[in-house]
Amino acid sequence: MPVVTVRELLEAGVHFGHPASRWHPRMAPYIFGKRNGVHIIDVRKTAAAMVEAFYFLRKVASQGGTILIVGTKRQAKDAIRREADRCGCPFVAERWLGGTLTNLETIRQQIKRLEELERIESSGEIERFSKKMLSSFRREKRKVVRNLEGIRNMTALPAVLLIVDPGVEDIAVKEAATLRIPVVAMLDTDCDPAPVNVPIPANDDAMRSIDLVLSRLADAVIQGREHYKGGVQVAAGFSSDQIARVAAEGISSPHADAPAENAPAASSADASDA
């Protein structure tokens, strides 16, 4: 099976970008054209980027690396929680706390505080609290859980960040750059792809688009984990020419030979030149 088909990308609305007035010039190579003042993303480029991201994440997972999934915008929260839970990855879906990566030890102290709050609650000590103390206790626990629930088991720095909309998560991108942690990101036509190692041009505002991209990349992590548990590592990288061939032919892997199911490309009738 292919990582993703052009038909699936089109049906999920991955090709809809932002209004042309809000575009970032560095996204020009990923733009097919514009229609009614809205940029149309080149889904062939998206398909190629999805293949590259898929096999990169699968390789990292096959070597035991941790992938941290980040996305705090409303449209992405549910998908991130669901897919992170499915593939066993840490995640940040509410708020990125400054220093989450660059000051991980301090973040770990807050997680220890959460564990202490849970111990107090489970042991029954909370029953001796006054109403004022009980209200303060619950407020503190609610805040810590909301911000740190997804990374409470992350004891070391992740190997890769998987981000939805690096424009919104700019602090996370900067921290990753400081620590030389690779970033795979789903980004729209208003984002700067320069700080991202593996940019996936896609509509990052539509829930169907986010669901599709994250679900396929979560599958990559699951496959990589299975190889890791079985003591098998995925073969090393592949060339850009192979990635382009995958996008053009719709095959499932840069190393596969059999063509996949045909899928329609975006037609020039649907978009005018940018």
Element housing 92 (H / E): strand 91-92
Same domain, 174 and 74: yes
Same domain, 167 and 138: no
Residue 250 and residue 208: Cα distance in Å, rounded? Answer: 21
Same domain, 56 and 141: no
Same domain, 208 and 170: yes
Residue 164 and residue 72: Cα distance in Å, rounded? Answer: 8
Question: Among 241, 248, 243, which Cα is nearest to 263's?
Answer: 248
Residue 140 placed within a domain: yes
What tens digit of pLDDT does each residue of 165-207 get? Answer: 999 999 999 999 999 999 999 999 999 999 999 999 999 999 9
Q: How many percent of the chain have pLDDT more than 70?
A: 83
- Domain residue limits at 109: 104-150
Where is pLDDT greater, at 60 or 264? 60
Q: What is the mean pLDDT of the chain?
A: 84
Same domain, 52 and 161: yes
Same domain, 35 and 73: yes
pLDDT bucket at 247, cuts 50 / 70 / 90: very low
Instruction: End-to-end CA distance of the chain: give it in Å, rounded.
Output: 33
Same domain, 50 and 114: no
Residue 256 placed within a domain: yes
Same domain, 146 and 260: no
pLDDT bucket at 11, cuts 50 / 70 / 90: very high
pLDDT bucket at 227, cuts 50 / 70 / 90: confident
What CATH number is attached to the domain comprising 115?
Answer: 1.10.287
pLDDT of residue 230: 66
Domain end residue (candidates: 117, 150, 183):
150
Same domain, 146 and 168: no
Same domain, 255 and 163: yes
Same domain, 128 and 181: no
Question: Among 172, 163, 157, which Cα is nearest to 65's?
Answer: 157
pLDDT of residue 47: 95
Q: At what angle do helices 207-229 and 74-87 cross, to 10 degrees?
A: 20
Residue 18 placed within a domain: yes
80 with 91: CB under 8 angstroms?
Answer: yes
Q: Is the pLDDT of residue 38 over 90?
A: yes
236 with 62: CB under 8 angstroms?
Answer: no
Residue 76 placed within a domain: yes
Helices within the chain (DSSP H only): 6-11, 43-62, 74-87, 104-123, 131-148, 170-178, 207-229, 240-249
What tens digit of pLDDT does each residue of 131-146 get? Answer: 888 888 889 888 888 8
pLDDT of residue 12: 94
Residue 274 and residue 272: Cα distance in Å, rounded? Answer: 6
Residue 215 placed within a domain: yes
What CATH number is attached to the domain comprising 74?
Answer: 3.40.50.10490
pTM equals: 0.81
Sign of the Cα torsion 115, 120, 123, 126 reads negative
Q: Is the pLDDT of residue 260 over 70?
A: no
Contacts of 240 (CB under 8 A, 6+ apart): none
Residue 12 placed within a domain: yes
Burial class (CB in 10 A: 0-12, 13-18, 19+), 244: middle
Total domains present in the chain: 2
Same domain, 108 and 94: no
Domain end residue (candidates: 150, 182, 213):
150
Residue 254 placed within a domain: yes
Residue 1 placed within a domain: no
Domain end residue (candidates: 150, 184, 210):
150
